Chain A
Amino acid sequence: DAKTTQPPSMDCAEGRAANLPCNHSTISGNEYVYWYRQIHSQGPQYIIHGLKNNETNEMASLIITEDRKSSTLILPHATLRDTAVYYCIVSPSYNNNDMRFGAGTRLTVKP
């Protein structure tokens, strides 16, 4: 019952920006957009989250459309170590410990 839609897979050239889209057309006003990634057989790693403003940290940027129905995670200079499954999740601020993960996007960074 994930509330997001992501492409199953994407490729990106090493050193280029990776832009990962996510649709969340039924997002509610109190729900945040979270991004995690999971490298094979490890626990998911938190990347970034936001409500309606664009956000940036040392790992990535998050661009949320004005209507909040979609967002894009940007890895500015992808490296081979960024190869992973990326999950986009919407979760209310009052209950963000019950995260509903979808299938995610498998990003492959190629040399």
Chain B
Amino acid sequence: KAGVTQTPRYLIKTRGQQVTLSCSPISGHRSVSWYQQTPGQGLQFLFEYFSETQRNKGNFPGRFSGRQFSNSRSEMNVSTLELGDSALYLCASSWAGSRSTDTQYFGPGTRLTVL
């Protein structure tokens, strides 16, 4: 079974631009979560989508948004990029996220650099 895939793997943008990152979950998984990882803050939860609805949200500004499609693929968007948005953005998927035996599986991440 193919793992979680993320595109693009690397991205360079300039301040003020916007960016869209894509995540394809493991086949059959319906929950997709997004995380931001920086050297200073570590791994931080952004938001989670399940059945095209945002089910949970971390403590990030409104510039960070996401959506999920009917096939469970998800995108996250960051508008008005700031230098501090440079990070590794990770996507994780799970079947439903509400069972004790459920587990999140992470993709390889998208490395975003803001200049």
Contact = CB atoms under 8 A, between A and B. Distances in A.
B72 interface: no
B97 A97 contact: yes
Interface string A38-63: 00011111100101000000000000
Chain B contact residues, majority secondary structure = strand
A100 B109 contact: no
Interface in B33-59: 33, 35, 42-45, 48, 50, 55-56, 58
Contacts of B88: 41
Contacts, number: 68
Interface residues of B, number: 30
A15 to B, nearest CB: 28
Given A94-B98, A98-B48, A43 B108 contact: yes
A45 to B, nearest CB: 7
B64 interface: no
B70 interface: no
Interface string B67-108: 000000000000000000000101010100111101111111
Chain A contact residues, majority secondary structure = loop
Residue of B43, B44, B48, B111 with most partner-chain A CB within 10 A = B43
Given A44-B90, A103-B42, A93 B100 contact: yes
B22 interface: no
B102 A102 contact: no
Contacts of A102: 42
Interface in A78-99: 87, 93-99
Given A97-B31, A97-B48, A102-B42, A42 B108 contact: yes
Given A97-B33, A97-B56, A44 B106 contact: yes
Contacts of A95: 56, 97-98
A49 B97 contact: no
Given A43-B90, A94-B98, A101 B109 contact: no
Given A42-B109, A44-B43, A44-B90, A99 B100 contact: no
Q: Which 3 A-B pairs have the closest CB atoms?
A: A43-B106, A101-B43, A97-B97
